[in-house]
Amino acid sequence: MTSRDGYQWTESSGLVKGVPSIGVIQPPTNIKDEQAIYDVIVVGAGYCGLTAARDAALSGLKVLLLEARDRIGGRSWSSNIEGYPFELGGTWVSWGQPHVWREISRYDMRNELEISHDYSRGVNHFSLNSASGSRNMSHEDEDRLMESALNKFANVDGQHGRTVMPFPHSESYSPEAAKYDKMSVADRMEQIKDDLSPDEHTVLLGFVLLCSCSTPEKTSFYEYLHWWALCNYSYEYCIEYLIKYKFKGGQSSFAINFFKEACATGRLSYAFNTPVATIKDNGSDVQVTARDGKIYKAARLISAIPMNILKDVAFSPALIPGKLDASNREHVNKCVKIHAEVRDRDLRSWSGITYPNNSLMYAIGDGTTPSGNTHIVAFGGSHNNIQPEKDINKTMQALQTLTPMDIERVVFHNWADDEFAKGAWFFSPPGLVTEHLEDLRAPQGNMYFANSDWAVGWRSFIDGAIEEGTRAALAVKRDIDRTRFAHL
């Protein structure tokens, strides 16, 4: 089946909207009783919503899952183009991410992982393109350069951040750590500018801004330190945890297992292509009205809606001020993720950073397609004026600026212009996390709020989404049980 989401381009087809994916759900609904009242409605079928719906159904609750898109996965989904999974959103997983690894083990997918990078053949080098010129270096030299720069960046305490953030999975943060949330990446760069070589400066910003897909001024230094702490305070583990292991069949091959298990309980109803307009907590129940006017009711509700679009749904009672302020401010990641299938097979072992003079700043060889071509994945941000669906030729030029390549196919999803996300994975501006994390996590009456955007551990990652879905489903089950037992 083909989703409405995503785009692909080939010379013969031109730019085409919609990408085939095994995550598209048919039929789009299984609701038989339009007047049914559920135990819980889950809004959103990304990993958080899928986890919440599955766990709630397994616990014996009657569940309704509502999703605006025609597919599961939210901001993590993969294509199935001629049998190849281009990852349109979240991609990489690791056994260092505990919730993800639990689910990989649950679905017996431990042998379904592969390594993104293959340095056994081809050019086997890293390209560094900066304002001072362009050159290639070995991946060993790339690692040494990156490690030196990132260690200097994170070393706020003489221990590479270990004493500032010793428990990155904690819900609380010390005043010492919180002060760094007032700082931007630009602020930290100013502090260490004299300690960085020109090459270190370029690769540092290229890597950190790959994490946020924003500008140094808008990127929270604290949030980067949180990522760094989760990655064992080292560049080596950043690569291990963030950008090394992925599913051979794509993220949708993982997500579909959550959905199938929930369906198998017989307690999951669902409706896709169902954007939500209003959510009203009446005290005795929660009423959800879709854009098409259909009304759904349940005792409780789990909103798995991303932070940037919470403000677009009319809640009654209104969202508490902290939730609304966070949504109005928005997180800063406006990533545009571009995949290129290229005929240059030697680029399988290539990677590169081009900063600051290109709208795509970071790219790697990320796979081999069934035809033997190389798959390149590149990252940029809408602040760099890249909008591939409006100007595919400019996007092709940006790919060529990274390194010369013979392009056969381009595949992408512009998350910045996605009305149901308004951004890619969460990355905060200065101040937002320490000011509003507790607000975002707080329930309101019969409404519970869960999303990777405000996970405690791997915030913004698939692992964080599963963490949050697990938390919300358990909280709702306990709440409903308390209510039922109170009436016995």
Interval 133-158: pLDDT, tens = 899 999 999 999 999 999 999 999 99
Confidence of residue 170 (pLDDT cuts 50, 70, 90): confident
φ, ψ for residue 479 (rounded to 5)? Answer: -65, -45
Give the span between the Cα atoms of 249 and 245, in whole angstroms.
12
Nearest to 362 by CA among 145, 127, 131, 151: 127
Domains parsed from the chain with CATH numbers: 2-77+251-330+422-486 (3.50.50.60), 121-245+336-414 (3.90.660.10)
Q: For the residues 4-27, what does the mean pLDDT come to?
A: 97
**Cβ neighbours for 15, distance < 8 A, ≥ 6 positions apart:** 7, 8, 9, 389, 392
Task: Evaluate whether 40 touches 298 at the Cβ level (below 8 Å).
Answer: yes
Q: What is the pLDDT of residue 308?
A: 98
Amino acid at 277: A
Q: CA distances (Å), 194 to each of 183, 185, 219, in order?
A: 18, 15, 21
Give the Cα separation of 254 and 270 in Å (integer).
Answer: 19
pLDDT surpassing 70 at residue 175: yes
* Binding-site residue set for substrate: 379
Give, in order, the Cα–Cα distances in Å from 229 to each of 151, 154, 167, 446: 12, 9, 8, 35
Name the residue type at position 388. Answer: P
Cα angle vertex 270, ends 264, 272, to 5°?
130
> Can you name the residues that pair with 363 across neighbouring β-strands?
352, 378
Per the listing, tokens 């919440």 go with: 52
Q: What digits encode the pLDDT tens for the residues 189-240?
A: 999 999 999 999 999 999 999 999 999 999 999 999 999 999 999 999 999 9
Reported pTM: 0.97
Task: Tell me the pLDDT of the chain averaged across its residues.
Answer: 96
Query: In the predicted model, what is the mean pLDDT of residues 433-440?
Result: 96
Q: What is the pLDDT of residues 291-331, one digit of tens each?
A: 999 999 999 999 999 999 999 999 999 999 999 999 999 99
**Closest Cα to residue 147, out of 200, 187, 191?**
200
Q: What band does 172 get if pLDDT is binned at 50, 70 and 90?
A: confident
pLDDT band, very low/low/confident/very high, at 384 (cuts 50, 70, 90): low
Binding residues for FAD: 67-68, 276
CA distances from 252 to 47, 80, 155, 446 (A): 10, 9, 38, 31
Sorting pLDDT into bands at 50, 70 and 90, what band is 485? confident
**Residue for token digits 């080292």?**
234
Question: Per-residue pLDDT for 487 more than 70?
Answer: no
Query: Pick from 470, 482, 481, 476: which is nearest to 55 by CA?
Result: 470
Q: Residue 131's pLDDT is what? A: 86
pLDDT at 486 over 80: no
Which residues participate in the annotated binding site?
A: 67-68, 276, 379
